[in-house]
């Protein structure tokens, strides 16, 4: 099997690393890290035609789409019309991520537990509604905003300012529609379910760390680290997620004429009583969660992804993907991230990488002299693997410390909730 992974970040490096165990990999455009397990093809993810041409020229059987932007732009529809299997949802089904307004209305129709909300296209109506809403509350740009379009507001005044900024274009067209919703208490967990629209297999649960600084302080980012598995997301909780969230959502998408294939990412808030509430859906693997979930999967994903994308019969006997051990990833970000990341610093990577670690590349580039340099906000993901989260964290920290570049920013407390729980029990 020959597979093209579309994208060039840490998630796509993790996909290449995982799928190359059983397939020949290509990555478009990839990054200096994906070269270890794939052949990089210098293509834009938005150039669907060039991707089709390269797949034909290289006799590639399957495309696996990493990021949401090409999915929302219809890359899977385009390749399918050309007779090329691609793993990921159609543009219509990807609206579950690209329109929060659509996702909220879908969940209401399907009876999926989520925060009460209303959607507005008119600023005066939004402000009037906020004026009567209990505090705290959450204001969200409906469209794609690179994970930055949700503002948790402790006061109605703050929520009004956030809504005014969104209507004024802070997130471009993504803020033309604004969702106002109730604040949910609890702990977050990310669940990835691969699906053909009917059957489902869930990958091990993971937890992202969105804030820039230790102790969950500082601004929201694309994610500063993650760990998997998450002990409180036990079998009973996953059963509830399957029956109350994933199942009804897939059925309602099919009912509305947009059947879903690919990976459905449910971002959940689990209340203190153990009830999962949907915070958001994404139409792809999480980043940096993929960098911890994929390394602990024990079974061959290639076969599953191929069957789902090609429409071959897929009737898994289990609803869980087999996994063992634990992984923690520490994101190494550039100075100035997330507001204004500085690019260009030279990166040193140890030649004798610590045991039980994988260094996934995200924002790196090789210059003309073959020096590895910083080229994006999130630069590298230092993944550690071990029998439990504590051991995996130690491995991740060792690797994160051994890699160096000027201005390196990182958190040293990834997995702190899990470790506190393990210590308390």
Binding site for ligand AMP (CB under 6 A): 115, 138, 140, 147, 149-150, 152, 181, 183-184, 188, 210, 267, 269, 279-280
**Out of ligand GLY, ligand AMP, none, which partner does residue 386 contact, by CB within 5 to 8 A per kind?**
none
Span from 170-178, 284-292, 357-365, 417-425 in contact with ligand GLY (CB under 6 A):
284-292
- Cα separation, 100 vs 73, in Å, equals 16
Beta carbons within 8 Å of 273's beta carbon, 6+ residues apart: none
- Cis before 422 (ω within 30): no
Residue indicated by tokens 């969230």: 245
**Nearest-10 Cα torsion for 380, 320, 387, 301:** -50
Span from 29-37, 129-137, 285-293, 307-315 in contact with ligand GLY (CB under 6 A):
285-293
DSSP category for residue 343: P
Per the CB < 8 A criterion, the answer to whether 263 and 14 are in contact is no
Q: Minimal distance in Å, beta carbon 165 to ligand GLY? A: 21
Q: Facing residues of 184 across strands?
A: none
**Out of ligand GLY, ligand AMP, none, which partner does residue 184 contact, by CB within 5 to 8 A per kind?**
ligand AMP
147 scored as a contact of ligand GLY (CB under 6 A): yes
Which of 9, 205, 223, 225 binds ligand GLY (CB under 6 A)? It is 223
Per the CB < 8 A criterion, the answer to whether 151 and 136 are in contact is no
356 scored as a contact of ligand GLY (CB under 6 A): no
Q: Minimal distance in Å, beta carbon 14 to ligand GLY? A: 12
- Cα separation, 180 vs 163, in Å, equals 9
Alpha-carbon distances, residue 88 vs 67, 74, 91, 228 (angstroms): 10, 10, 9, 23
Which of 12, 77, 181, 208 binds ligand GLY (CB under 6 A)? It is 208
Per the CB < 8 A criterion, the answer to whether 51 and 4 are in contact is yes
354 scored as a contact of ligand GLY (CB under 6 A): no
**Out of ligand GLY, ligand AMP, none, which partner does residue 189 contact, by CB within 5 to 8 A per kind?**
none
Alpha-carbon distances, residue 76 vs 36, 320, 327, 344, 402 (angstroms): 26, 25, 31, 34, 40
Residue 25 Cα to chain centre, angstroms: 21
**Out of ligand AMP, ligand GLY, none, which partner does residue 115 contact, by CB within 5 to 8 A per kind?**
ligand AMP
DSSP element (H, E) containing 301: helix 301-310
418 scored as a contact of ligand GLY (CB under 6 A): no
Residue 148 Cα to chain centre, angstroms: 13
Q: Facing residues of 151 across strands?
A: 139
Which of 142, 282, 291, 302 binds ligand GLY (CB under 6 A)? It is 282
| Token pair of 401 as six digits | 């410390």
Nearer of residues 50 and 160 to ligand AMP, judged by Cβ: 160
Q: By C-alpha distance, which of 317, 293, 375 is closest to 341?
A: 375
**Out of ligand AMP, ligand GLY, none, which partner does residue 398 contact, by CB within 5 to 8 A per kind?**
none
Nearer of residues 282 and 330 to ligand GLY, judged by Cβ: 282
Beta strands in 317-425 (DSSP E): 326-333, 357-361, 364-366, 372-374, 378-386
Secondary structure tally for the chain: helices H, strands E: 14, 22
**Out of ligand AMP, ligand GLY, none, which partner does residue 223 contact, by CB within 5 to 8 A per kind?**
ligand GLY
**Out of ligand AMP, ligand GLY, none, which partner does residue 289 contact, by CB within 5 to 8 A per kind?**
ligand GLY
Q: Minimal distance in Å, beta carbon 320 to ligand AMP? A: 24
- Indicate the burial class of 196 (C-beta count within 10 angstroms; 0-12, 13-18, 19 or more): buried
Q: Minimal distance in Å, beta carbon 338 to ligand GLY? A: 13
286 scored as a contact of ligand GLY (CB under 6 A): yes
Q: Minimal distance in Å, beta carbon 87 to ligand GLY? A: 17
**Out of ligand GLY, ligand AMP, none, which partner does residue 152 contact, by CB within 5 to 8 A per kind?**
ligand AMP
Q: Minimal distance in Å, beta carbon 326 to ligand GLY? A: 18
**Out of ligand AMP, ligand GLY, none, which partner does residue 286 contact, by CB within 5 to 8 A per kind?**
ligand GLY
Residues lying near ligand GLY in the complex (CB under 6 A): 147, 208, 223, 282, 286-287, 289
């Amino acid at each position: 099997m020959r597979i093209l992974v579309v994208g060039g970040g840490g998630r796509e490096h993790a996909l290449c690393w995982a799928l190359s165990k059983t397939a020949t990999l290509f990555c478009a455009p990839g990054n200096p890290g994906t070269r270890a397990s794939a052949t990089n093809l210098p293509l834009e993810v938005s150039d669907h035609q060039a991707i089709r041409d390269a797949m034909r020229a290289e006799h590639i059987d399957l495309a696996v789409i990493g990021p949401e932007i090409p999915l929302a732009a219809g890359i899977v529809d385009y390749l399918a019309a050309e007779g090329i299997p691609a793993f990921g949802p159609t543009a219509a089904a990807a609206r579950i991520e690209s329109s929060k307004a659509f996702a909220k209305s879908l969940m209401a129709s399907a009876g999926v537990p989520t925060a009460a909300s209303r959607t507005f296209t008119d600023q005066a109506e939004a402000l009037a509604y906020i004026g009567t809403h209990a505090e705290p509350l959450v204001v969200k740009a409906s469209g794609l905003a690179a994970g930055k379009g949700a503002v948790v507001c402790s006061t109605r005044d703050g929520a009004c300012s956030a809504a005014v900024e969104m209507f004024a274009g802070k997130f471009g067209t993504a803020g033309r529609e604004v969702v106002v919703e109730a604040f949910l208490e609890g702990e977050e967990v990310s669940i990835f379910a691969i699906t053909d629209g009917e059957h489902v297999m869930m990958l091990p649960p993971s937890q992202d760390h969105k804030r820039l600084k230790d102790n969950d302080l500082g601004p929201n980012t694309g994610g500063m680290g993650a760990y998997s598995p998450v002990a409180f997301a036990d079998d009973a909780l996953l059963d509830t997620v399957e029956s109350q969230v994933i199942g009804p959502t897939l059925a309602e998408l099919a009912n509305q004429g947009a059947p879903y294939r690919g990976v459905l990412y449910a971002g959940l808030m689990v209340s203190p009583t153990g009830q999962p509430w949907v915070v958001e859906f994404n139409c792809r693997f999480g980043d940096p969660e993929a960098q911890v979930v994929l390394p602990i999967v024990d079974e061959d994903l290639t076969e599953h992804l191929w069957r789902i994308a090609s429409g071959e019969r897929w009737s898994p006997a289990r609803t869980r993907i087999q996994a063992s051990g634990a992984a923690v990833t520490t994101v190494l970000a550039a100075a100035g991230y997330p507001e204004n990341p500085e690019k260009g610093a030279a990166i040193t990577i140890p030649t004798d990488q610590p045991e039980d670690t994988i260094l996934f590349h995200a924002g790196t580039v090789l210059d003309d002299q073959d020096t590895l340099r910083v080229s994006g906000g999130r630069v590298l993901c230092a993944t550690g693997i071990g029998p439990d989260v504590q051991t995996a964290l130690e491995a991740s920290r060792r690797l994160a410390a051994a890699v160096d570049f000027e201005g390196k920013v990182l958190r040293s407390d990834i997995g702190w909730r899990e470790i506190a729980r393990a210590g308390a029990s």
